[in-house]
Structure 1
């Protein structure tokens, strides 16, 4: 009887440990994907700002109005923490 309880206890700890390992792996994957998406959005925003400044226009027709408003409020510098 004690052997069955010990086996169930060990298998329970192993299953719980596996769940923790999988959760940590998924967390790192999601954070990495979010960082890649954020970097892509920042790069697109910076490219849009460069092209709008090169053209000498202050209007924005490409849909990145948030980028232009952020850059004009921050003096053209985008800080990422």
Structure 2
């Protein structure tokens, strides 16, 4: 990847929104479409705080993992100017 002729692929916010909308744990949360990382994080953190049952906690953990993966994509592949 450190090769001089390696061309870094660039994603857009719309690409992140499309990816997030295909993840069941995130699909219905605010901030997916249009992409808004802050609103999405707020909803995921609310889900973690409000989770009461084992299934709710598992779903919130899945959403947390998914948003962390999207954060990595955002950091490395979205051009912020």
TM-score (norm 2): 0.32
Q: Which protein has the larger Cα radius of gyration, Structure 1 or Structure 2?
A: 1
TM-score (norm 1): 0.32
